[in-house]
Amino acid sequence: MHSNQLRTVSKHGTTKRIRLHQARLGMFVEELEGGQRHRQTAGFMIASPQDIERVLRSKVISIVINTGKGVDVLNTSRPGGLYDPKQFEAALFARHSQEEIREAQETIKETTPLIRELFSEARLSGTVDIRDARAAADQIISTAQNSSAAMIGITRLKSKDEYTFLHSLAVSALMVTFGRTLELSEDTISTLALAGLVHDIGKVALPRSILTKTGKLSDEEFAVIKTHPARGAELLAHFQDLPPAVFDICLHHHERFDGAGYPHGLAGKKIPYVARLAAICDVYEAMTTIRPYKKAWTQAQTIDLMLRSPGHFDPTLLGAFVSKMVISGAIA
């Protein structure tokens, strides 16, 4: 149980205090708690995404739910543990249908070699085979109609040598899914899919010893890492017909909303919208990654940390990510 959860049992059921981002469809809300010990009695079921918006808009800090009248907090709010293959598989099958998992696995199997080829070609020849990237992006878009959550769930598990490909694939799927919930145009969605795949392409120019280093990076090493957005943008600049948003995402996905990011230290709305969206998906994906033999962050811990990093992300977009992707259950 979360350390700040209060649990009381009465004849009316079990009430529990939860954090905002732990709210889910099907929960029964007894009370909304705001700042200065302000309490609002509620007594309603979260039955639709609109109800979630209502909760978020009411500027509450915590929510008291009644688990006798509605669903409880998800298991994902448990502290992260070591990777357990059986548990990982069981959780996947509990959340997604067999058909969704099969479709997602097929897409991962078919697109991973394309992404691998894309990166090794870029490493060897200093150029990107954009046709491979487009083919993989198209497949991710069609899978994302039904099985994006399964795809995002499966790709959480990454070994060291497949990290970059699976991270790129998962960021692409996350951006497509987030873009759809934001009702962006299909053209933009297709741009997001492609950009997700190539956003880190500049890493091919960096020494492997720095990329695969597991310990803390020295200042010099971190300075090298920070060159990857500009190097990626250089690689993509050869393609005149590439949508500018792909270039923007590649160059600006490490900018921070408060201007403390890199490479240009852009702040607020000066950062292209699509790059602000990509920054959220990129960090969320990296943090929720499961590596064998390493403790993993849960979705709830990740969101908690992202919400408690003021200045890092566009707050409006992060709010939309939490309500439309996490609380609504679009990804788990």
Q: Could you list the residues that contact Fe ion (CB under 5 A)?
A: 200
Identify which of residues 100 and 282 has a Cβ nearer to Fe ion in the complex.
282
Q: Which residues contact 90 (CB under 8 A, 6 or more apart)?
A: none
CB of 127 to Fe ion, least distance (A): 20
CB of 169 to Fe ion, least distance (A): 14
Identify which of residues 103 and 255 has a Cβ nearer to Fe ion in the complex.
255
- Alpha-carbon gap, residue 106 to 100, rounded angstroms: 10
CB of 55 to Fe ion, least distance (A): 33
| Phi and psi angles of residue 80, each rounded to the nearest 5 degrees, phi first | -65, 150
State the residue for tokens 């009465």. Answer: 10
Residue 210 to residues 46, 100, 200, 205, Cα–Cα distance (Å): 47, 37, 15, 11
Query: Taking a C-beta distance cutoff of 8 angstroms, is the pair 79, 301 a contact?
Result: yes
Identify which of residues 200 and 248 has a Cβ nearer to Fe ion in the complex.
200
CB of 107 to Fe ion, least distance (A): 23
Identify which of residues 100 and 200 has a Cβ nearer to Fe ion in the complex.
200
Q: Which residues contact 287 (CB under 8 A, 6 or more apart)?
A: 297, 302, 305, 306
- Alpha-carbon gap, residue 141 to 182, rounded angstroms: 15
Identify which of residues 45 and 211 has a Cβ nearer to Fe ion in the complex.
211
Question: Which residue, 288, 260, 238, is CA-closest to 250?
Answer: 238
Identify which of residues 242 and 279 has a Cβ nearer to Fe ion in the complex.
279
Identify which of residues 17 and 167 has a Cβ nearer to Fe ion in the complex.
167
Query: Taking a C-beta distance cutoff of 8 angstroms, is the pair 181, 329 a contact?
Result: no
CB of 203 to Fe ion, least distance (A): 7
Count Cα neighbours of 221 within 13 Å in the Cβ-side half-sphere: 12
CB of 306 to Fe ion, least distance (A): 16
- Alpha-carbon gap, residue 88 to 176, rounded angstroms: 24
Neighbour-count burial of 71, counting CB atoms closer than 10 A to its CB (0-12 exposed, 13-18 middle, 19+ buried): middle
Identify which of residues 91 and 206 has a Cβ nearer to Fe ion in the complex.
206
CB of 192 to Fe ion, least distance (A): 15
CB of 225 to Fe ion, least distance (A): 8
- Alpha-carbon gap, residue 223 to 228, rounded angstroms: 10
Which position's Cβ is nearest Fe ion?
200
Please state, as a whole number, how many other Cβ atoms lie within 10 Å of the Cβ of residue 94.
Answer: 9
